[in-house]
Amino acid sequence: MIKLGVTGGLASGKSTACRFLQEKGCPVFDADKVAKDILFSSPEIWEKLAQEFGPDIITDNGLNKSKLAEAAFSSPRNQSILNSLIHPRVRKRFQDFVVEKEADNKVVVADVPLLFEGDFEKLVDYSLLIFTDRDIRIKRALERGNLTREQIENRMELQMPEKEKKKRATYVIENNSDLEDLRQKIDHLYEKLLNKRAK
């Protein structure tokens, strides 16, 4: 079985690429979703975050999502604090996911925004970067309507530079065109992976 880690910056089309792979029968581990499940169901993590970011992070109903986002995306230090609490647990969940899926699948996909930053690349055989020009990413992110331009640019600044990701990724797919173009490129990569597995 081949383990493929897929990453990409905000609004790059990474999740769409993973959906295309899922349509081919590849199980997809959604690291963001798992991280949120862990974060919002772990009071011991909340206490540690309150010590770092202030007590108003916690409300009677659990974590204050807006306060947490404001704190976590305000500086590299704060993001590092949050990631250090979450990433080890997410990596463990992925290892369990692989054990569960390995008997019946040729390719397992990990959808991981912070593949390189989170030390996740050690857990996969190959890495794929979905690369999209910055202006296109900003336009797509604004069209989603849930972040301001300033918030989008701040989050981009906190991520590893795309140039560095390109150096580290096994494969790079440019996603500056339409969905059909991306689908064709994913199809081609999938066939390449199957050929590697057959050797």
Q: Which amino acid is at 98?
A: V
| 28-65: pLDDT as tens digits | 999 999 999 999 999 999 999 999 999 999 988 889 98
Tokens coding 67 = 């306060």
Nearest-5° angle of CA 181, CA 1, CA 95? 100
| 179-195: pLDDT as tens digits | 999 999 999 999 999 98
| 83-110: pLDDT as tens digits | 999 999 999 999 999 999 988 889 999 9
Rounded to two decimals, what is the model's pTM? 0.92
Q: What domains are there in the chain, each with its CATH number?
A: 2-194 (3.40.50.300)
* In the block, residue with structure tokens 């772990």: 42
